[in-house]
């Protein structure tokens, strides 16, 4: 269902994107140092859907939404995104 590849710390150091495949869709995740500040605020405020939209951007958010995800799928995707990027949530 998911595929994680490079080390997130190395990706952050190199400012390279981290690939993530979820439910057959490939995503390219920017290192957290490149996220807009609003993404951090959303993450800290527990606004997970807003956080995800800001991290993915419009095109990748549309690709995720096109899979018709359930809330459970959404939750699993966020966990996989956090693992891929080496961040932890509440």
φ, ψ for residue 36, nearest 5 deg: -70, 150
pLDDT band at 86 (very low <50, low <70, confident <90, very high): confident
Query: What does the alpha-carbon distance between residue 55 and residue 60 come to, in Å, rounded to a whole number?
Result: 9
Burial of residue 90, with CB atoms counted within 10 A of its CB: 0-12 exposed, 13-18 middle, 19 or more buried: exposed
- pTM check: above 0.85: no
pLDDT in tens, 32-63: 889 999 999 998 999 989 999 999 999 999 99
pLDDT band at 7 (very low <50, low <70, confident <90, very high): low
Domain residue ranges in the chain: 2-85
Coil/strand/helix, residue 19: strand
């Amino acid at each position: 269902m998911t595929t994680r590849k490079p080390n997130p710390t190395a990706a952050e150091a190199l400012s390279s994107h981290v690939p993530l495949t979820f439910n057959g869709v490939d995503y390219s995740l920017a290192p957290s140092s490149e996220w807009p500040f609003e993404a951090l605020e959303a993450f800290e405020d527990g606004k997970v859907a807003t956080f995800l939209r800001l991290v993915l951007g419009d095109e990748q958010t549309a690709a995720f939404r096109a899979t018709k995800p359930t809330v459970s799928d959404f939750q699993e995707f966020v966990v996989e995104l956090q693992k891929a990027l080496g961040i932890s949530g509440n």
